[in-house]
Amino acid sequence: MKTKSKAAAMLLMASTLLVSSACSSGNETKSNEPSDNPSPSATSKEDNKNTTETDSKKIKMRVITLTTDENRNNIMEKFIKPNIASALPNLEVEFEPGGGGEDMANKLKTLNASGDMPDVFWNDAGYFTPLKSTGSILDLTPYISKDGFLDKYAVPDALKHVDNGIYSLSSGADTYFTPVIFYHKDMFEEAGVQVPTTFDELIQISKTLKSKGMIPAVTPGKDGWGPKLFMLQQMIQIGDPQAMADLVSNKTDFNNPSVKEGAARIETLVKEGVFPDGIANIDYGPAMEMFTSKKAAMLWMFTWELPNLAKDETVDFFPFPSASDKYSPTENVQFWGSPINGYAVNGKTKNPEEAVKLAEFLAMADALYFESTGAPISLQTGNQAMDRSPLMQKFVDWYNPIPNKIASFALNSLDARTSAEISTQGANLLTGEYAADDFNVAMNKIWSENTWFDK
Amino acid sequence: MNKYFSTKVSIFVFAFPALLLFTLFCVYPLLPEIWMSLHKHDGFKNLGFVGLNNYKEVMASPSFWTAHKNTYLIVAISLLLGLPLSMMLSLFIDAQTPKFRRFFKTVAMFPAILSVTVVAQIWLAFYEPNWGLFNEILHSLGLSSWTHSWLTEKKTVMPSIGVTFLWQYIGLNALLFYTGIKTIPKSYYEAALIDGANYIQVCLRITIPLLQNVIKYVLILSTLGSMAFYSHVRVMTAGGPGDLSRTVIYQMYYTAFDTSEFGKGTAIAVIFILECLLISFVIQRYVAREKLEF
Amino acid sequence: MSFKGTLPEKNWSFKLEGSFLKLLSRVFWVAVGCTFLFPLYWMVTMSLKSKSEAYDNPFGLPTSWDWLNFSEALSKYHFYTYFENSVIYTTGTIVITLATGSMLAYCLSRMQWKFNTVMLFYVSMGLIVPIEVVVIPLFQLVKWMQIKNSHLGLILPYSGFAIASCVLMLYAFLRSLPKELEEAACIDGANVYQTYIKIIFPIVMPALVTQCVLIFIRIWNEFPLAFIIASKDQFRPLTVGLLGFFINVGVTDWGLIGASMLLSSLPMIIVYLIGNEKIENALTAGAILK
């Protein structure tokens, strides 16, 4: 299944290159480029050569974007590289890999501290506030209202930050990402267990799965990834969605009994052996592999992996089961997006107009990619809607009607320090050697020092 | 003669380029660090002078002390376990037939030339709790109760990383020792042989004392090397679980970059440099002071 | 220099009492020696495995040999450019460090300068400053000097950091040399520069080779500074160029990781295997400190 997708990707890449080289017939340097070598900078370097020869007036742009996950690489190779020259002929764009996560944040921080920010970059909640305070991030509202890009969004208001500015452009695919529990139907059958509807049932079936020699569930735990990004939030909201919504908007804290129960549930999960040994040090890749190779029966993961996982017919998903009657999976759900995640423009760029155009192009490339995977997006590409896989259809049918969508705690409530400390504390919880009470005491202190809501 | 060579011009020509490079790139960057450590600084901009507050807050944080405990544990492992093992290996190499000796000399330095990423990845696979090599071996020996989730348990995480570090550099240190052993004149041994001393006595009475200079050199290198221990932790556990495997340098990075408190991060850096200065001073001053002539 | 053991072979028997102990220690160290070779085995086998096999069978021999990983690793990443850059950074640093460092060491050890002791202490502080601590000020400095977009942007900081250990080692080495060396040259009428180049430089060669190796190990594998400073594609060294592989290992597949690891470590391994006798020779020179 993996090799198939790779072959398909190669084919697609080769054909796009073929098409683009056919289009630019007479452009010798480009057609000399071997078609099995669609490497990013080779192409852009060749382009540079052309441009200096033919048109020296091109405006130089520097872009730093995410480069570490599979989706991002696909977007770069299939949607950005092949089309950028024709879409933005007056620009000479240099892409700089940003890595991801911590590396990306460190890099942007260093660049910002030395006044060397790129023209366009991937913005993230982790470094948004300080970037804004130094004027390194542009309010895009006037630009995108004027050129009509704003109208391409299904819900334009969703782009607005709390201060009503628009700082980032994205495909809107983010708002359709939510954590669910993926599982292998055949493994459940083999163990003779049903999809659980309550938290207690979840524990029960995990014990059964474990007794059959399977790993019940896996999720990335290294550096507290899972706990920070969704697990804590899920474990709180399956008991009391209102408490979770209040926490996201800073109306309550870690003294709230409903909030405290969240950490206690994680402790229970770990103690009851729902996760494999060493979950606190399992990275994203190995966690995925444990599930796709059927060592683990369940994978707790965001739906951005759904298109990949849906290729295996035994994979299905269910929402997080409830722990009290205050919660129902058809009434409440966590959504991922944040208006500040997306392509942002440097407030100090020399060519804001062109930089915004570039950001728009990049956001559209994202949209085209996610659309091609069958994922729902909110930036309209003007293409016909694609056929969705049954699993994606099942997801959309479940997700869209849910009335109460709670924003992600990790993206919408934490300053850099709080975010880092939650990672630390969350990883601690996963060791099973750290009591939920200690977690809540520590979190309360960290939460009281959170500067996110200071404005 | 020395006077003839030591004109002002020649001293300048010989000393200036290196001193310039060193001062500019190694010493000068410390000044903004010290300045930053006295300010509240988020990595983006200066938020005002705070005096020694950063230092106070850093010292009051439990993570800072966990990081110290871990760092000194690594130092202890590499000195108390690593150096004796390296010494044994070097003595062992010395006692081999030329063919074997060649093999060991070639192989010993091998892990040290590889990048930490490669080494750490291999050991990650060894320590994997569900199907990693170590637990598999323990299971097959019927010692299932000895298995651990090596990198996520409080008790085992730091020693496990320490072993990786130890393994990577044991051979390099052994080679350094061995090259020292080679320079010991044979006449010393012949005298001991006549006295009827056995192998261990020879090692303890002749070889090791005569190696003092090399030992001191390796001691300083290993101490400072393990003080700055960081890369293995980053790849293997990302300082986790929680803050359990952070070292001082890791804590500095975490504070500066992850929590955006550059003031505090640089305060840790300054404390760290002072510690290293102190330690190397102590070693220079009190360990193996006398120069041995042979 | 003799590479024979310290003791004549015939005295072998006295070294370890009892053949059991001898056997035990030999078995132990041979096992350890094999583990030293394990990474090489692991990289080679890993690079020949398909993605799924690498997870299912992490330590065994590959069931089928999959050479595709290499061609894919080579084509997906600008291996040759990155490789060239790594070579430039490493040799550049070695040349600059050895040239300036040996001169300073010579000055401190053999010339009459009243600041000799002070300067020696000053330089030895460099051993303690980890490069990671000063990444931000270094970046600003490199930018200010306008060498960010050139190879010098990394070579000069690397050299600055490598100088301390180079000077200290050569200082110790030079001090152990007899004074007559220069006196003879002096009588022949050579000046200090000629003496340095014609007489001193060849003599310190073994120590220089040691430094060469140590710097090579350090620079070839350096990541944190290169990641920040060498941002343009045409200046990236291997470590940064393979970022996608090395940082988020696991997201992509292990066969590719193995192949790229092997490709990027290969120069190190080759240099080591060729120069191993020399390196060992040089270590001897380096180990005789003070």
Per-residue pLDDT tens for A186-223? 999 999 999 999 999 999 999 999 999 999 999 999 88
Enter the pTM of the model: 0.79
Task: Note whether A325 and A347 are same-domain residues.
Answer: no
Q: What CATH number has the domain bearing residue A161?
A: 3.40.190.10
Percent of chain C with pLDDT over 90: 11
Inside any domain, residue A116? yes
Task: Note whether A376 and A297 are same-domain residues.
Answer: no
A127 CB neighbours in chain B (<8 A) are: 260
Q: What CATH number has the domain bearing residue C178?
A: 1.10.3720.10
Domain extent, residue A198, equals 178-336+407-448
- Whether A223 and A388 have beta carbons less than 8 Å apart is answered as no
* pLDDT value for B70: 95
Q: Is A312 on the interface with C (CB under 8 A)?
A: no
Q: Is A114 on the interface with C (CB under 8 A)?
A: yes
- Whether C262 and C180 have beta carbons less than 8 Å apart is answered as no
Percent of chain B with pLDDT over 90: 23
Inside any domain, residue C181? yes
Q: What is the average pLDDT across B148-172?
A: 90
Between positions 157 and 216 of C, the ones with CB within 8 A of B are 157, 159-161, 163-164, 167, 179, 182-183, 186, 192-193, 195-196
Instruction: Name, in order, each residue with C-beta under 8 angstroms of B236's C-beta and a sequence gap of 6 or more.
Output: A281, B120, B123, B124, B127, B151, B161, B164, B245
Q: How far apart are CA A343 and CA A359, in angstroms?
A: 6
Share of chain A residues as helix, strand and coil, in percent rounded to the nearest 5: 55, 10, 35
* pLDDT value for C65: 76
Query: 10 Å Cβ neighbour count for A269?
Result: 24
Task: Note whether A198 and A276 are same-domain residues.
Answer: yes
Secondary structure class of A134 (helix, strand, coil): coil
Inside any domain, residue A8? no
Exposure letters C171-193 (e unless 16+ CB within 10 A, then b):
bbbbeeeeeeebeebbeeebebe
Closest-CA residue of B relative to A111 is B44
Q: How far apart are CA C274 and CA B113, in angstroms?
A: 14
Q: How far is CA B187 from CA B103, C6, C41, in A?
A: 27, 10, 43
* pLDDT value for B94: 85
User: Using the 8-state DSSP alphabet, how is residue A389 labeled?
Assistant: P
* pLDDT value for A3: 40
Inside any domain, residue C229? yes
Among candidate residues A390, A415, A430, the one where a domain is terminated: A390
Domain extent, residue C130, equals 78-241
Alpha helical stretches, state H, B28-152:
30-37, 53-60, 62-76, 83-94, 98-108, 110-113, 116-127, 133-140
Question: Do C56 and A100 lie within an 8 Å CB cutoff?
Answer: no
Inside any domain, residue A19? no
B125 CB neighbours in chain C (<8 A) are: 58-59
C192 CB neighbours in chain B (<8 A) are: 5, 7, 10
Task: Note whether A203 and A256 are same-domain residues.
Answer: yes
Inside any domain, residue A291? yes
Task: Note whether A62 and A135 are same-domain residues.
Answer: yes
pLDDT of residue B119 exceeding 80: yes
Q: How far apart are CA B119 and CA B236, in angstroms?
A: 10
* pLDDT value for A199: 95
* pLDDT value for A23: 36
Q: Which residue has the higher pLDDT, B190 or C17?
A: B190
Q: How far apart are CA A192 and CA A211, in angstroms?
A: 12
Number of compact structural domains in chain C = 1
Inside any domain, residue C73? no
Q: How far apart are CA B90 and CA B104, in angstroms?
A: 9
Number of compact structural domains in chain A = 2
A71 CB neighbours in chain C (<8 A) are: none
Domain ranges of chain B: 62-125+169-286
pLDDT of residue C289 exceeding 70: no
Please, which pLDDT band fits residue B152 given cuts at 50, 70 and 90?
confident
> Chains contacting A with at least 3 CB pairs below 8 Å?
B, C
Query: How distant is the alpha carbon of residue B32 from its chain centre?
Result: 26
Q: How far apart are CA C81 and CA C91, in angstroms?
A: 15
Inside any domain, residue C63? no
Exposed/middle/buried for residue B204 (C-beta within 10 Å: 0-12, 13-18, 19+) = exposed
Instruction: Name, in order, each residue with C-beta under 8 angstroms of B105's C-beta and a sequence gap of 6 or more.
Output: B93, B175, B178, C276, C280
* pLDDT value for A246: 92
Q: How far apart are CA B69 and CA B75, in angstroms?
A: 10
* pLDDT value for A316: 95
Q: Is C133 on the interface with A (CB under 8 A)?
A: no
Count of alpha carbons within 13 angstroms of residue A345, beta-carbon side: 28
pLDDT of residue A352 exceeding 80: yes
Instruction: Give the tens place of pLDDT for each residue, C45-78.
Output: 888 887 777 666 777 777 777 777 787 777 766 7
pLDDT of residue A71 exceeding 50: yes
Task: Note whether A217 and A116 are same-domain residues.
Answer: no
Please, which pLDDT band fits residue A455 given cuts at 50, 70 and 90?
low
- Whether C237 and C158 have beta carbons less than 8 Å apart is answered as no
Query: 10 Å Cβ neighbour count for A10?
Result: 14
Assigned superfamily of B62-125+169-286? MetI-like (1.10.3720.10)
Amino acid at site C217: I
Inside any domain, residue A17? no
> Across chain B, where does the E strand assignment appear?
39-41, 46-49
Task: Note whether A75 and A112 are same-domain residues.
Answer: yes
User: Which region among A287-301, C29-43, C60-74, C137-151 has the lowest average model confidence (pLDDT)?
Assistant: C60-74
Q: Which residue has the higher pLDDT, A118 or A412?
A: A118
pLDDT of residue A38 exceeding 60: no
Closest-CA residue of B relative to C190 is B5
- Placement of tokens 């480069």 in the chain: A67
Q: State ipTM.
A: 0.79
Please, which pLDDT band fits residue B64 given cuts at 50, 70 and 90?
very high
Inside any domain, residue A344? yes
